[in-house]
Structure 1
Amino acid sequence: MLHLRLIVPADRTEEVVRTIESTVGTAHLAVLSGAARNPVGDLVLCDVAREAGDELIAELRAIGLDRDGSIAVDHIDLSISKRADKAEAEAPGEGADAVLWESLTDATHEESTLSITYVAFLAVATMLAACGVMLDNAILIVGAMAVGPEFGPLAGISTALVRRAPRLVGRSLLALVVGFASAMLLTAGFGWLMEVLGLFDKSMIEAPRPNTAFIFRPDWMSFVVAFLAGIAGTLSLTSAKSGALIGVAISVTTVPAAANAAMAFSYQDYGQTWGSSWQLLANLAGIVLSGTLTLLAQKALWASQRKRQLP
């Protein structure tokens, strides 16, 4: 279930209440007249089944409530109520299959913002991966994969393509390009410092490295793994099962590929630089493609499911 907290201009409260009451899957409606102060208006509270949430939010936005009032949505972890059970049973479809497009757009918008924190996480992850590739240590590579925040902008691109939001595409691309460029530049500087300290040397990048050689030797399996990870990551976002994102993060070699490209370039090993760059691009393309196709499939399947169940 979802909990909606609405601030409504007094002259539109009745319209909002009618909209909520006419939406299948709602319960626990409450109206507090004159309770809101900024902006001034009434406070309207209600619960709605997740599978009916996107439709109700869209109708409230059509009324202009997002412009003249406020729409806040919380996820209810536990609701002990027969009315809530009845609302979920009446709502068409299954809550686990429903996509809250407004929530998804908002989440990916936030995750794809180019910020100091985002660049710092990506840079630290790339430096960890640099240690992994130089030491041929698979554990460090896995750790770097888990730290990397790059799935946010990739999900943002997929969401923007499905929702036809060019500004979100531009924002996500900016975060990816500037983020990876900054991380690779900082990693090259980190590599120089490690060489000065005697911890890195050229022989390490030229060694066979059986545990991490896959990073600069891309093949079709690299794309397949990224494609499957993109599906899992998108399903995780749309179903609010964020724990699965950890598995997605350690399935793709975006950050390790960027790290190896930076280190190989600094040691003038252009063969590895090229191979790692292709590995990075293959993973990015696979995730964006599968994420977009997954969202399109979810959109089509949900529309078909609702059409079958509605009278």
Structure 2
Amino acid sequence: MLHLRLITPSGTTDDVVRLIGATVGTAHLVVLPGAARDPAGDLVLCDVAREAADDLLAGLRDLGLDRTGSIAVEGIDLSLSERADQAEEDAPGEGADAVLWEQLSEATHEESTLSVTYLAFITLATMIAACGVVLDNAILIVGAMAVGPEFGPLAGVCTALIQRAPRLALRSLIALLAGFAVAMAVTVGFTYLMDALGQFTRVQLEAERPNTNFIYRPDAFSFVVALLAGVAGTLSLTSSKSGALVGVAISVTTIPAAANAAVAFAYDEYRQAWGSTEQLLLNLAGITLAGTLTLLAQKHLWRRHRTSPPSTTTR
């Protein structure tokens, strides 16, 4: 269940209450006239099943409540109420399968914004991965994958393609491309520094490196794994199971590939640099393709489910 906290202008409150009452899957409606001060208006509270929330939010926006008042949505971890149980049963579909497009847009907007923190994380992750590739240390590679924030902009691109949102697409692409460009440039400088300190050497980079040589040797499995990771990552976002994102992060080779390309470029090892770049592009393309197709499939399946006649159950 989700909890909605709405601030409504007094002239709109009746329309909002009617909309909530007409939405299957709502419960616990509370109206507090004149309780809101900024903006001034009435406070309306209600709970709604996740699978019914997207339609309700769309209706509230059609009433202009996002402009004239406020719409706040919170998750409910525990609700002990027969009325809430009945609302979830009445709502079509399963909550785990429902996509809250407004929530997804908000999440990807935040995660795909080019910021100092984003640049810091992607740069630090690439530098950690650089240590991993030179030392042939798989643990450092996995750690760098977990730190990397690049899935946010990739999810933003997928969402923008489905929702036909050019601004979100542009913002996400800028964050993605600028982030990798800055991270790789700093890692080149980091490589020169570590070489001057005697910690990195060309011999280490050119060694066989059995634990990490896959980074600059892309193959068909690189694209397959990227596709699977793109599906898993998108599902984790739309179902609010963010814990799965860690597994997604450590299953793709974007950050390590960028790091290996930067180190190889610093040592003029262009064969490895090109191989790593291919690995990076394959992973980015695979995740974007899979994420976009996953969102498209979810949108299509949920639309079909909502328009299908409800099944009758015996209680």
TM-score by length of 1: 0.99
Tell me how far apart the structure 2 counterparts of residues 180 and 38 of structure 1 sit (CA, whole Å): 42
- Write the letter of the residue equivalent to 1:76: I
Tell me how far apart the structure 1 counterparts of residues 110 and 123 of structure 2 sit (CA, whole Å): 19
Report the counterpart of residue 236 of structure 2 in structure 1: 236
1:160 corresponds to 2:157 = no
Tell me how far apart the structure 1 counterparts of residues 310 and 17 of structure 2 sit (CA, whole Å): 22
1:126 corresponds to 2:150 = no
Deviation track 1:285-309 (CA, whole Å, cap 9, x = no partner) reads 0000000000000011111111114
Report how far residue 203 of structure 1 moved. 0.8
State the number of aligned residues: 311
Report the counterpart of residue 223 of structure 1 in structure 2: 223
Tell me how far apart the structure 2 counterparts of residues 268 and 247 of structure 1 sit (CA, whole Å): 33
Say what the alpha-carbon RMSD is for the aligned residues: 0.8
Alignment of 1:215-294 (within 5 A): 215-294=215-294
Report the counterpart of residue 201 of structure 1 in structure 2: 201
- Write the letter of the residue equivalent to 1:169: A
Report the counterpart of residue 171 of structure 2 in structure 1: 171
Report the counterpart of residue 69 of structure 2 in structure 1: 69
Report how far residue 271 of structure 1 moved. 0.6
Report the counterpart of residue 49 of structure 2 in structure 1: 49
SS in 2 for 1:10: coil
Tell me how far apart the structure 2 counterparts of residues 55 and 100 of structure 1 sit (CA, whole Å): 9
Tell me how far apart the structure 2 counterparts of residues 60 and 308 of structure 1 sit (CA, whole Å): 24
Report the counterpart of residue 106 of structure 1 in structure 2: 106
- Write the letter of the residue equivalent to 1:199: Q
1:36 corresponds to 2:36 = yes
Gaps of 5+ in 1: none
Tell me how far apart the structure 2 counterparts of residues 270 and 4 of structure 1 sit (CA, whole Å): 55
| Contact persistence 1:93–1:309 (CA under 8 A) | no
Report the counterpart of residue 148 of structure 1 in structure 2: 148
- Write the letter of the residue equivalent to 2:298: Q
SS in 2 for 1:171: helix
Report the counterpart of residue 23 of structure 1 in structure 2: 23
Tell me how far apart the structure 1 counterparts of residues 280 and 50 of structure 2 sit (CA, whole Å): 36
TM-score by length of 2: 0.98
Report how far residue 196 of structure 1 moved. 1.2
SS in 2 for 1:11: coil
SS in 2 for 1:200: coil
| Contact persistence 1:227–1:289 (CA under 8 A) | yes
| Contact persistence 1:100–1:238 (CA under 8 A) | yes
Tell me how far apart the structure 2 counterparts of residues 7 and 192 of structure 1 sit (CA, whole Å): 57
Report how far residue 209 of structure 1 moved. 0.6
SS in 1 for 2:308: helix
- Percent identity between matched residues is 71
| Contact persistence 1:92–1:309 (CA under 8 A) | no
- Write the letter of the residue equivalent to 2:181: A
Gaps of 5+ in 2: none
SS in 1 for 2:155: helix
Deviation track 1:126-145 (CA, whole Å, cap 9, x = no partner) reads 00000000000111000000
- Write the letter of the residue equivalent to 2:197: L
Tell me how far apart the structure 2 counterparts of residues 12 and 306 of structure 1 sit (CA, whole Å): 27
1:116 corresponds to 2:107 = no
Tell me how far apart the structure 2 counterparts of residues 242 and 272 of structure 1 sit (CA, whole Å): 34
| Contact persistence 1:109–1:168 (CA under 8 A) | yes
